[in-house]
Chain A
C-alpha cells in the first residue's frame, strides 16, 4: 500500500510538472500580455498611463524575457509557495484563491450532497420499477435537467423568485453580511442564498447520475445472484439494497474523485449569472484579461485537484470492491 501510494505520488509530481508547462504556454499563446492589454484599454478610455509604473512591473515580472525565463520565474515562485501577483485584482494570487476557496468548496460540497441525495433514491426506484409512472416521471425530469443549461435554470430561478416572492437571488450574502464575521445571522443569510446555486448545480448533475444508476442497476437486477437472494427468503427491498445496488454503485463511486476539480471549473456561467463569490467566475476573468499568474495558479489547482481526485477514487474503489483489491 505504502509503495503503491509513493509510486502514485511520484507520478503525480511528474504529471504536474508537465501540466504546468502546458498551461503556462497556453496562457501565453495570445499575442501581448496583461500590461499591453491593460494599456490599450486605458488608452481607449482616455486614462493616463503611468509609464514608469508599467516599466517597473515589466521588469519585476520579466514580461519582456523569453518564455522559458518567465516560466522559470513563475514556477520557482510557485514551488516556494508564492503563486505570484494578480495584475487585474492587484493582490497576491494566493490571497485571491484563499479568499474564495472555502466558499467554492462549501457550495460545491452542498451541491454534491443534494445531488446524490436526489439521484440515488430516484435512480434505484427508477430501475426497480422500470416503466412505472414514477420511472417515466424521473426520466422526464432527468432529460429536462440534462437539456436545460445551468445558467438558463439560474435565470429562470431568479425570475421566478422575484415574481413570486419579490426576492432577488444572487450572490451568497446580503450586502450587510458580505464582509461581516461569521455569526448565526450570517449563517442564516448564507443558507438563505446558497440554495439557489446548489439547486441549479445539483439538478443538472442529478439527471446524469439517475440515468447511469438506472442503467447499471437494470443490468444487475437480472443477475442470478438476485434470484439466489430471493430463494433464500430475503425481503425484496432489503435484497435489492444489499446486493444489486451495491454492485451498481461501483461505477459511480469510481467517478466521485472527478468531482474535486469541478469546485473550480464546473459552474462558471452559473457563478457569473448568480454573481457568486466563488473561484469559477474568477477563472474566466483571469483568462480574458490575460492575468497570467492568477490563471496559471487556478489551472494548476484544477490539475492538482484532478490528480488527487483520481487517486481518491482509485483508493475508494479498491476499498469497496474486493475484485480490485484482491483480483
Chain B
C-alpha cells in the first residue's frame, strides 16, 4: 500500500463496524445498539450524544465488552495499537475486540492498559472499602511489572497530574472522604495509569455540579493533549459536546442518526432530533415563558415568606476511634423574602448550603438563630424555624416539597394512586369516594394518563416519576413549593419539559416557588429573582436577568462562566489561555 497523497489523515485507532449489542429481557430482547459504525482517530475527541436509552453508553461499554448482562451479537470493533497522530493507518494488525473472550487474558491486557474507561457515578465507581491509592496502585500493577513502592510513587505522580493537592496524603484517603469532583479525578488518575491510547468517558460529569464539570472537562482536555490520547466522550448535553468535541455522533434508538465535525453539526444539523437536542441545551441560556401569567400579587404586597438571619451549624464528632469535634457552618445569616406568586431561585455549588436551607424551612433541620415567617392562608404568621413551627401539621399541606432524585423519592411498594393520595388522606382533604377522581385530575395536570394509577413507580421513566412527585406535591393545593434540584437527575430535553410543566402549574395556580439548583441556567429560565449562595452565605440576590447579564459578585460570574454553552464558538476550552484552573 502507498501512503495517500497530501497531509496524511490521522490514523484510526478504533473502528466500530455494524455493532449490535442486545440485552435479554423477561420476554424477548432489547436491541440497545443496532448496527452502529463509528471511527475514532488518534488524538481526537469524538462525542457520542443522545438521550437516555439511545444506546450511547452501551456503545461505549461494548468497546471493552463490559455490557453484562447484555451481549455483543454482531459487528466488529477494530483496535489498532500502533495508530499514532498524524500518520496513516499503521501497518500492524488491527485486533477485533468483539472476537476476544470477554473474560479472557487478551482483552484484559487491553482493558486499562491500552483503552481505559471512566464512568458516570464518581460516588459509586470506587470501592468504598479501599483507599483510592489501593485502587490506583492495583491498576498500575495489573499491567506494569512494578513493586509496591514504585507503584505507589507512580500513583502519587498520577494524582498530582490530575491536580490533587497534597497527593502524598490524599493517596491514603477513602472515597467517602472526597468530594464528587475529587473522586472523578481519582478515577481519571486510575484510567491514565498505563498511558492508554484511548480514553472512554461515559457521562463523566453528569453527576457533578457545573463548576466542577468545567474543571473536570478542562482536565480531560489538557491530559489528552499531554498524552496524545483519543477520547470517546459520551454525554447527553450538547453544551458539553460544543466544548469538547472534534467530531460528533448523535444517537437515537440504538443507531447513529447523524455524525460529522462539530461545527457542521451545530451549524447545519440535518436531523430534527439533533436540532431538538441543541435546542434543549440552548433553552437554558434564556428566560422561560414565566411572565405569561402575571403572578398574583407583586411588589408592595406582604411577602408570603420572610426569612431573617438564619444561622445553622452542623456540630458533631467524626471518627469512631479518633473522635474530632467538627462544626460546619451551613447557613450564615441568610435573609430574603418571597412574594406571593413569585419564584425565587437559589443557586450555588454542592456544599453551599442550599439544600440545608430548604430542609430548615421544612423543619427538618433545627436552626441556631433566625426566623422564617410564613403567612398562612388565613393571614396568620407562623415561624417555620421555631421549635413549635410545624406543631400544626396542616402547615404541611400549605408548604410542599419536590425532591431531587425521582427514583428514591417514591415508595416502590406503593401504587401511584397511593403515593399521590397519601397527602390527601393525611390532611383529610378529600372524601374517600372522591380520592380516585382527585388523583386522576392531578395526573392529568402533570400530563400523565389517569390509567397509570394502579402501577408501581418502577414502571416509569425518570421524567415520569418526577411528574408523579410533582402531582403529589400539588395534591394539597399548596401555596409554597420548595423544589430541591427537581431536574438535575434528568437529561436535557426532559429537564426542559419538567421546567415548563412547573411553570405552567405555577402560572395557573399562582404558586410561590423556591427553586434550588446548582445550574444557574435552570434558575434563570424559571425564576424572576435569584439568590446566589456560597459556603452558607447569600452573596448576591436580585432579578435573574440582571444578575445573569451583570453579575456583581465574582462568584456569580464564575458560576455563569461554568455553564457549557451550546455552540462550538463559545467553547472556552479551545482557548489555551482559559484551559484548566491554574
- Interface of A toward B, CB cutoff 8 Å: 1, 4, 223-225, 227-236, 243, 246-247, 318, 320-327
A236 to chain B, nearest CB (A): 5
> Known contacts A228-B125, A247-B127; is A325 also within 8 Å of B111 by CB?
no
Asked if residues A235 and B127 are in contact (CB atoms below 8 Å), the reply is: no
Asked if residues B117 and A325 are in contact (CB atoms below 8 Å), the reply is: no
> Known contacts A4-B321, A224-B120, A227-B119; is A233 also within 8 Å of B129 by CB?
no
Chain A CB within 10 Å, residue with most, of B109, B128, B131: B128
A68 to chain B, nearest CB (A): 40
A142 to chain B, nearest CB (A): 23
B524 to chain A, nearest CB (A): 32
Q: A228-B126, A323-B128 are in contact. List 11 more A-B contacts (CB 8 A).
A: A4-B320, A225-B124, A229-B127, A231-B119, A232-B138, A233-B110, A233-B143, A321-B129, A322-B174, A326-B177, A327-B318
Whether a CB of chain A sits under 8 angstroms from the CB of B94 is: no
Chain B 484-518 interface 0/1 with A at a Cβ cutoff of 8 Å (1 = within): 00000000000000000000000000000000000
Q: Which of B108, B121, B128, B318 contacts A233 (CB 8 A)?
A: B108
Chain A contacts of B128 at CB under 8 A?
A: 225, 247, 322-323
- Given the complex of chains A and B, what is the CA–CA distance between A321 and B320 in angstroms? 11
Chain B contacts of A230 at CB under 8 A?
A: 64, 66, 111
Chain B CB within 10 Å, residue with most, of A232, A236, A247: A232
- Given the complex of chains A and B, what is the CA–CA distance between A231 and B321 in angstroms? 35
Q: Which of B66, B113, B135, B138 contacts A227 (CB 8 A)?
A: B66
Whether a CB of chain A sits under 8 angstroms from the CB of B180 is: no
- Given the complex of chains A and B, what is the CA–CA distance between A227 and B106 in angstroms? 18
Asked if residues A231 and B116 are in contact (CB atoms below 8 Å), the reply is: yes
Chain A contacts of B135 at CB under 8 A?
A: 228
- Given the complex of chains A and B, what is the CA–CA distance between A225 and B190 in angstroms? 12
> Known contacts A224-B120, A243-B127, A326-B320; is A234 also within 8 Å of B176 by CB?
no
Look across to chain A and name the residue whose beta carbon is closest to the beta carbon of B115: A231
Whether a CB of chain A sits under 8 angstroms from the CB of B153 is: no
- Interface of B toward A, CB cutoff 8 Å: 61, 64, 66, 103, 105, 108-113, 116-117, 119-121, 124-131, 135, 138-139, 142-143, 174, 176-177, 187, 190-191, 318-322
Asked if residues A318 and B138 are in contact (CB atoms below 8 Å), the reply is: no
Look across to chain A and name the residue whose beta carbon is closest to the beta carbon of B109: A233
- Given the complex of chains A and B, what is the CA–CA distance between A4 and B320 in angstroms? 9
Chain B contacts of A231 at CB under 8 A?
A: 64, 66, 111-112, 116-117, 119, 191
- Given the complex of chains A and B, what is the CA–CA distance between A246 and B103 in angstroms? 21
11 cross-chain CB contacts under 8 A: A224-B125, A227-B61, A230-B64, A232-B112, A232-B139, A243-B127, A247-B128, A322-B129, A322-B174, A323-B176, A326-B320
- Given the complex of chains A and B, what is the CA–CA distance between A243 and B318 in angstroms? 25
> Known contacts A318-B321, A327-B176; is A228 also within 8 Å of B187 by CB?
yes
Asked if residues A228 and B174 are in contact (CB atoms below 8 Å), the reply is: no
- Given the complex of chains A and B, what is the CA–CA distance between A327 and B175 in angstroms? 11
Asked if residues B113 and A233 are in contact (CB atoms below 8 Å), the reply is: yes
Chain B CB within 10 Å, residue with most, of A228, A235, A326: A228
- Given the complex of chains A and B, what is the CA–CA distance between A233 and B107 in angstroms? 8
Asked if residues A235 and B111 are in contact (CB atoms below 8 Å), the reply is: no
Asked if residues B125 and A227 are in contact (CB atoms below 8 Å), the reply is: yes
> Known contacts A243-B127, A322-B129; is A232 also within 8 Å of B190 by CB?
yes
- Given the complex of chains A and B, what is the CA–CA distance between A233 and B65 in angstroms? 11
Asked if residues B321 and A325 are in contact (CB atoms below 8 Å), the reply is: yes
Chain B contacts of A4 at CB under 8 A?
A: 320-321
- Given the complex of chains A and B, what is the CA–CA distance between A324 and B322 in angstroms? 11
B123 to chain A, nearest CB (A): 9
A216 to chain B, nearest CB (A): 13
Chain B contacts of A1 at CB under 8 A?
A: 321-322
Look across to chain B and name the residue whose beta carbon is closest to the beta carbon of A320: B129
Q: Which of B108, B121, B129 contacts A234 (CB 8 A)?
A: B108
Look across to chain B and name the residue whose beta carbon is closest to the beta carbon of A1: B321
- Given the complex of chains A and B, what is the CA–CA distance between A326 and B176 in angstroms? 9
